[in-house]
Amino acid sequence: MLLLAVDTATSAVTVALHDGTRTLAEQTTLDARRHAELLAPALERVLAETGHGADEVTAVVAGTGPGPFTGLRVGLVTARTFAFVRGIPVYGVCSLDVLAHQAWLQRRGVDGVAAGSMRAASEPAAEADRLLVATDARRKEVYWATYRLTERGAAREGEPQVSRPAELPQQVCSLPTVGRGPVLYPELLPQGGAPLDVSAAALADLAARALRGDADRDSVLTDPEPLYLRRPDAQPQGARKPVLH
């Protein structure tokens, strides 16, 4: 397996190459406005750093969001085009699931992060096993979902949603939270912590686990279609009413 992972659903333009066991290389740039300019060079650098060619990649995985319309499509179109040209499979993974997976990896002490670092000493054990992921949806809103952290991974509780932070249920706001939501709205989401943005290395790790059978493939891997939770601003004009003379 040589898995190429791409995500542009958050402020991070991130690409990684994974061999099915570990991440071989990752390139990440924080820039919420230049996804189209930064993604292709990052992909080239990851391949060059590992010494692998595009013809060696066996599958592609892309974050499906939710995220801003234009930035999200950059990653998905790039992933689908790369896979089409190579004639290899392409998968999608919810970007909120990836952030939850990053938090789960941190709690297990992966990549030097202290195991259990997300659990405050005063937290009840039951609540410490739950997590809120909240990312910037702009328009003073957040994309969010809650998760149960288990021995096997981070299991999402329901579908991703979009709403104003003040409208989230109180029991949700009190959960340990990852993503940029608490950075943007600290008075409403006070339980913030790392990670803030999606890591392609974590995306690749989660997809590889699903492909190996170490995670539920059907709940992790989806079609590489953008997950939009609201309609785009631009709408087709309706039929003009006839003018009576």
CA distances from 38 to 19, 49, 97, 135, 201 (A): 23, 16, 23, 21, 17
Residues of the chain with pLDDT under 70: 110-128, 231-245
Per CATH, the number for 3-94+198-220 is 3.30.420.40
Residue 20, pLDDT score: 93
Summarize pLDDT for 95-138 with one digit per residue, the tens: 999 999 999 999 887 653 333 333 333 344 444 589 999 999 99
Summarize pLDDT for 207-224 with one digit per residue, the tens: 999 999 888 898 999 999
Contact of 63 with 198, CB cutoff 8 Å? yes
One-letter amino acid of 80: R
What is the C-alpha separation between 145 and 108, in angstroms, rounded? 21
Per CATH, the number for 96-193 is 3.30.420
Beta bridge partners of 16: 5, 26
What is the C-alpha separation between 166 and 203, in angstroms, rounded? 29
List every span in the chain annotated with CATH 3.30.420.40: 3-94+198-220
